[in-house]
Structure 1
Amino acid sequence: MAATTHQDESVSGEKPSGSVVNEETDVQSDGAKTSDGEIILIPQPSSDPQDPLNWSMKRKAKVVATLFLAMFVGFSAPFCGQLNIQQQAALYGKTPVQITYFNSAASAGLATGGYLWWPLSSKFGRSSVIFWTLFGQLAAQIWAPMMTRHDQYAPYLVSRYFSAFFGVTVGVLGPRYLVDMFFLHQRGRAFTILHLALNFGASAGPTFAGFVAANAYWPVEYWWSVGLTGVAIIVVFLFLEETSYDRAEGAVNRQRPESWIKDRVYTFFPGTKVVPPTTWGHTLKVAITPFKIAVAPVILIIAGFDTISFGFYVALNALTPVWLQLPVRAGGIWGWNVTQNAAFTFIHWVGLIVGLLYGHFFSDRIPLWLVARNKEGVWKPEYRLHALWPTNFVLMPLGLGLVGCAMQYRLHWFVMALAQFFVTIGSLVSIPVTVNYICECFRTHTVEAALVLNSMRLFLGLSINFYINPWIDAVGVGWVYGMMAFFSVFAFMFLIALMLWGHAIRKVTPFGTSKSEEGEHVLKGPEDHGF
């Protein structure tokens, strides 16, 4: 049996100095476990009970649930106004498509915010940055419903940018919490659960807002998110913990104070109580690292896939209210009101539930089955990507094609609903799998890798609203979504390239930023364990 120890900021192929593994009990001489049944624990935990890997599942779940709420708020708040576009169009004197530009403003905020919050988290701690950026999002959510004059269209768009700019924090910093707390064979489920908040927030935000403002003037749709953001601030203060831990021999880690109040003050208020003291010069070097990672071929390939698959999902969500609410007399198909549109968005919820169940049962099981099949019990990061065959090679292109058919041939709204269901499943499953894969490729730079991938995958969603009408004029609405379906299949070719040549592609990463867990022995024996 091969056992390894992973430090918090480095990956080592050596066992802890001075520890001896008892092969019968799978426990080191210092009391640390080495395996869970037939699965070897990667990374190997220390014997310290404060090591996040040794925390109870209840304690880990509490942190994940807190991050889930903060991420839900972060991704639901910027898109609250997605359904009430007709009232806003009348107020600002814009077309419905121009009103959807606020989705692009929000996407821009999501794409750029992390480049500030990540370096600041290295100086003040991840939890502190999450806590204080929630206050920024609270201010942005109060700002938006105050923009009720006809000349305040531009300030309204700016409020959506800053809501997302502050709201993206957990999306960037959250993956590191998961890597700190969970073993390699558990991360697929953990990433699926946390990233459910991303898609669920982007879908549920418009749903809640649509029902709240269905029979009222549009600003009221923002106030529920103001209250929920306030709740998130309280929950984060009460329950979020810093998970940084150095397992290097001789490392001195922070001792949590006995006083709960003192621990909260140390965690959230400015200072260096939860992270090692550092200079602003070092913080600047940290800020530059994502740009080094951005040129890595493996990042560019995964980003190419995510840009198309997630970008089309964002575009579909942004434009569906326009298609559903366009009056029949103006050439629309269904001519729904805001309440009907809000009810329609529940199809996203169903897709999210199905995607969550799929990710929970298969995102770890499929890679472990492939590990068992290679007869050596050795891990390869690319095994993660095989979970996307049914969802992103089949369901997502089929869903986009059905959207085109429904629009082109003016079919029943159920066809549109089925299409949205398929696309939602593909989007929900693809995000945690690809983020998890990239984090495992850049084990020592997980936050920077997640930040770069998050920014790149939003580019298409950011821009598509500006050229969708010329695209429709050129080929027709049916073929717009039909082309999206073919592009989705093409994007999956990027993943196939990584499945075949991932090891070689990762080897050419510049600046020495790539260090994966490839080659780790995850299973005790070479036989097929039934995963």
Structure 2
Amino acid sequence: MFWHMSDDLKNDLNVPGTKVIIDDTTSATGSDNFKLTPVPSSDPNDPLNWTLRRKWLYVICMVMWVMASCAGMGSLYPIYDALSEETGLTLDQINTGAGYLYFFQQVWSLFSQPLAVTIGTRPIFIVTCAGLCIFPFCLSLVSTNSQWVGLIIVNSIFTSPVYVLPELALSDIFFYHERSFPFGVYISAIWGCAFVVPIYSGFLYTRFGLNGPTYFAGGCCAFAAVFLFLFLEETNFERKVPEHGNKVEAETIDKTTVESRYDLEKMTATTTDIVAVDGEDSTSSSPSSGYEASPHMYNHKTTPWPGPRPFQKSPVSPHWWGILWRTWFQNFAFYRLPILLWCSVIMAYTQIYSNITSALSSGILGDEPYNMSPNMVGLTFVSPLLANIPGALAAGWITDWWTIRKARQNGGVSEPEDKLSLSIIPTILSPIGCLMMGLGPYYGAHWIVFVLGEFVITIAGPLANLIAINYAFDAYHGIQPKDQSGPRFEVQKGAPYILSPTLLAMGISFGFSYAITPWAFDAGFKIWAITAAIVSICMTGSGLLMMIWGKRLRKSGAGFYEKIINI
């Protein structure tokens, strides 16, 4: 059986992010005819070769860490008024302090991300999880604004990996056609924890005072640290050229003369002929192509979980300085790329609206005309918590399904812009949620209108965030430097194409934290509702425009991206 690519398809595959993920020329059908991207190695320790159960144990570890990182600050959302009374801080100072958290998270991520590449992701996750206990156990000592900001900055050190490192770790163990659902679980953990923690913190405050919810959050962080120490595995793996049952020759790929060398994902789209011989597959590479065919789902061998390894060693790179300065340089250089700027804006939008949802809940429901107690305010977070299921979990699965469906319609070729068509969902839902959350309190409507508005906007937010993360990842993950070893190559393990837009997004979110109170409370809920609805339409609707211009921007920016990562 033979598979040959047309000239048009070859040209399409020269655009970073465009790849073949389905090969209908094999005898396999259904889910077995997926071309594995990135290409796994023959090493049983390769995270891509883990069994599905082993991979999902790792996902559980990531969820534990993410929820621990959000527990400390999240426990305060429904008791902002009480925190203000007991510490003497104003609501504006508390909200501004939360903004400092997002800003310094990104400052410290410029250190934690290259450190994870240098010494491995496992020690970073375990040490930071243990350090997360500091904020909740020391909060009772805060009595001034300077102490509040200082504690926030300390907490930001240990929460700094939350917006990038888990995504990178998950991409190390899942293939292209199955990544969106684990990404959705990760986003669900971030948003879900911000909503589940306030549910119990209100009741704990009523029963035990301010220390109740914070000490409970600290205990959860300590438990998560022990859990990770026992069950978390290292995913920082140097993947060599694949050597599976088809005996791919490493020399063939090493001799490639292609000027723009993408990583092993690019090698999945090839001119290789797959020839059936005596019931077995033998792979022969076309002389005109330096690429090799990737294995398929039907011949992929997996490795089961070996059991707890608490003292597992992580690989250590000697190129720490080269990794560090290149991480800093690349993150700022990439702001020239329109795609990453767009992803930054969408990430910032989702984070800002998440912050507003949390800030408005206590400020609106705890005052006239609703006058809810802190524990009842906490119960209202059940609404966005339930919305997190279709907004992130189901959205991840739908995104994978949609990607595969579009690829089958396009002859097995997947484009990053395929996922952008799902932007129509948050474009419709976001303004509806904003109007319900603002106009409901303005006209004195029943509190259920505000709570349902939270539900609607929380469906839209995680989905928009997932779309932006996937787009940045799909567009640039496949581009690698010419030097396939050393600091240039290792920096790309840190996903600078994700860190760069996240850094800008959290900076925008920090700046906007100063505007939450004057925008929503001072200007009035009616003005806030209308303007927030208009902004949300513009932000989420821009994804539909990127469907038109996205591929052209990917192609025009590929040369600049390659130039930067080869410095």
TM-score bracket, normalised by the shorter chain, equals 0.7 to 0.9
2:465 equivalent among 425, 431, 436: 431
Q: Does 1:301 align with 2:342?
A: yes
2:221 equivalent among 229, 241, 252: 229
Secondary structure, counterpart of 2:351 in structure 1: helix
Q: Does 1:478 align with 2:526?
A: yes
Distance 1:178 1:259 in 2: 19
Judged with a 3 Å threshold, the aligned counterparts in structure 2 of structure 1 residues 322 and 97 are, in CA distance, closer, same or farther, namely: farther
2:432 equivalent among 358, 383, 398: 398
Secondary structure, counterpart of 1:215 in structure 2: helix
Distance 2:517 2:530 in 1: 15
| CA offsets 1:300-345 (integer angstroms, 9 cap, x no match) | 012122222331222221232111112xxxxx22111101101111
Alignment partner, residue 311 of structure 2: 265
Distance 1:50 1:431 in 2: 32
Check whether the contact 1:122–1:283 (CA below 8 A) recurs between aligned residues: no
RMSD: 3.1
The size of the alignment, in residue pairs, is 476
Distance 2:37 2:326 in 1: 29
Alignment partner, residue 500 of structure 2: 452
Please state how far the C-alpha of 1:104 moved relative to its aligned partner: 1.5
Secondary structure, counterpart of 1:100 in structure 2: helix
Q: How does 1:100-499 map to 2 (within 5 A)?
A: 100-147=95-142, 149=143, 152-243=144-235, 244-248=237-241, 249=250, 264-267=310-313, 273-326=314-367, 332-374=368-410, 376-390=411-425, 392-443=426-477, 444=480, 445=492, 447-472=495-520, 475-499=523-547
Unmatched tracts of structure 2, length 5 or more: 6-15, 242-249, 254-302, 481-491
Check whether the contact 2:26–2:33 (CA below 8 A) recurs between aligned residues: no
The one-letter code sitting in structure 1 at the alignment partner of 2:97 is F
Distance 1:368 1:22 in 2: 13
Distance 1:297 1:2 in 2: 34
Q: How does 1:6-85 map to 2 (within 5 A)?
A: 36-85=31-80
Secondary structure, counterpart of 2:37 in structure 1: coil
Distance 2:446 2:24 in 1: 65
Distance 1:14 1:358 in 2: 25
Check whether the contact 2:340–2:501 (CA below 8 A) recurs between aligned residues: yes
The one-letter code sitting in structure 2 at the alignment partner of 1:387 is L
| CA offsets 1:162-196 (integer angstroms, 9 cap, x no match) | 22331231431111222221111101111101221
Please state how far the C-alpha of 1:120 moved relative to its aligned partner: 0.9
Distance 2:24 2:390 in 1: 42
Check whether the contact 2:24–2:33 (CA below 8 A) recurs between aligned residues: no
| CA offsets 1:330-373 (integer angstroms, 9 cap, x no match) | xx221111011011111111111222453144111112222233
Distance 2:191 2:17 in 1: 35
Check whether the contact 1:107–1:161 (CA below 8 A) recurs between aligned residues: no
Judged with a 3 Å threshold, the aligned counterparts in structure 2 of structure 1 residues 285 and 497 are, in CA distance, closer, same or farther, namely: same
The one-letter code sitting in structure 1 at the alignment partner of 2:445 is L
Secondary structure, counterpart of 1:41 in structure 2: coil
Please state how far the C-alpha of 1:219 moved relative to its aligned partner: 2.5
The one-letter code sitting in structure 1 at the alignment partner of 2:347 is D
The one-letter code sitting in structure 2 at the alignment partner of 1:337 is S
Please state how far the C-alpha of 1:51 moved relative to its aligned partner: 2.1
Distance 2:370 2:362 in 1: 11
Alignment partner, residue 527 of structure 1: none
| CA offsets 1:375-429 (integer angstroms, 9 cap, x no match) | x321111112222322x11111110111121122111011001100011111122
| CA offsets 1:509-528 (integer angstroms, 9 cap, x no match) | 3774369xxxxxxxxxxxxx
Check whether the contact 1:304–1:494 (CA below 8 A) recurs between aligned residues: no
Check whether the contact 1:109–1:161 (CA below 8 A) recurs between aligned residues: yes
Greater relative contact order structure (CA < 8 Å, 6+ sep) = 2
Distance 1:116 1:402 in 2: 41
Secondary structure, counterpart of 1:334 in structure 2: coil
TM-score under structure 2 length normalisation: 0.77
Check whether the contact 1:385–1:433 (CA below 8 A) recurs between aligned residues: yes
Please state how far the C-alpha of 1:232 moved relative to its aligned partner: 1.2
Q: Does 1:501 align with 2:494?
A: no
Judged with a 3 Å threshold, the aligned counterparts in structure 2 of structure 1 residues 453 and 279 are, in CA distance, closer, same or farther, namely: closer
Judged with a 3 Å threshold, the aligned counterparts in structure 2 of structure 1 residues 56 and 196 are, in CA distance, closer, same or farther, namely: same
Judged with a 3 Å threshold, the aligned counterparts in structure 2 of structure 1 residues 289 and 64 are, in CA distance, closer, same or farther, namely: same
Distance 1:56 1:259 in 2: 11
Check whether the contact 1:405–1:478 (CA below 8 A) recurs between aligned residues: yes
Check whether the contact 1:137–1:162 (CA below 8 A) recurs between aligned residues: no
Check whether the contact 2:343–2:469 (CA below 8 A) recurs between aligned residues: no
Distance 1:305 1:514 in 2: 24
| CA offsets 1:216-249 (integer angstroms, 9 cap, x no match) | 3213221111111111111111111122231333
Deviates more, 1:471-480 or 1:120-129: 471-480
The one-letter code sitting in structure 2 at the alignment partner of 1:334 is Y
Distance 1:411 1:226 in 2: 38
Q: Percent identity?
A: 20
The one-letter code sitting in structure 2 at the alignment partner of 1:78 is M
